[in-house]
Amino acid sequence: MKTIKLTKMHGCGNDFVIIDYPEYAKTGMKMDELAKKICDRHFGVGADGMIIPHCEKHDETADISWYFYNSDGSTAQMCGNGMRCFAKYAYDNKLIDKKSFSVQTLAGIIKPELLENGLIKVNMGKPVLEDKKIPFWGERKIKVLDKEFEISPVSMGNPHCVIITDDDPMELALKYGPEIEKHEYFPEKTNVEFVKVKSNMEIDMRVYERGCGITLACGTGACASVVACVLNNLTENKVKVNLLGGPVFVEWQGSKDDTNQDIFLIGSANYSFFAEYIL
């Protein structure tokens, strides 16, 4: 009987299976196949994604790298909640020996920092607003099913479609999220965020994630939502984002005149359990 050791973690309910690379190597499986198997909530462990740290495969500008897979076996360029979990795991398991370090991802170099209060702050880099780099090919209005939405396309290393609304964000995410995720305007599909502004310092957000569906939280989505709110003059530059799984905090000093500013995501990362999984 072949088994591998794994760790289950979550950031605001956005949950991940983390497997050290030597443990993964025992499986003899392709990573996308393992992700689909192990993330299955009925026949596997159950998770929104799978993370495999890699201490050796990174360029000289990074301290460590990761492999990140969604539950459907697709890769994602970045994941903010996953990065917080990864940062805590890497430090606690001595894969890295400092509390502020750099991680090579498909979205470039990302820099997490473990704060003294137990939260993790991640420099998520600069938002991308140029259509062809998101990538996005279309208008700022999108019609799906029986409704037309004003949209704000943003990339945080992965594509996002932010929709600001006065309606119930969860109802909209459930009904329209699957249609917008695969809309022709987004050639690589997209994450879809429905945002309700509560004040100039607080928003509610519900998300339909690309490759996952409805999730309890999305860190890159929280960042993209704040960027859209700031650019539409709806919030200040420091915002509490209420997700289904709990709050995160996003800081961005950008504006319409200067979008070339790093965005920071601050939130928790928690262990759920350690286990051996039977392949």
Whether 12 sits among the annotated catalytic residues: the reply is no
Alpha-carbon span 156 to 237, nearest angstrom: 17
Q: Please tell me which residue in 12, 39, 79, 223 is annotated as part of the active site.
A: 79
Q: Please tell me which residue in 12, 39, 218, 223 is annotated as part of the active site.
A: 218
Asked if 154 and 160 count as a contact pair (C-beta separation under 8 A), the reply is yes
Alpha-carbon span 164 to 248, nearest angstrom: 18
Cis, bond preceding 135 (omega within 30 deg of 0): yes
Whether 223 sits among the annotated catalytic residues: the reply is no
Can you read off the two tokens belonging to residue 108? 């470039």
How do strand 238-243 and strand 213-215 relate by DSSP bridges? unpaired
Cβ burial 53-87 (10 Å sphere, 16+ → b, else e): beeeebeeebbbbbbbbbbebbebbbbbbbbbbbb
Catalytic residues: 79, 218
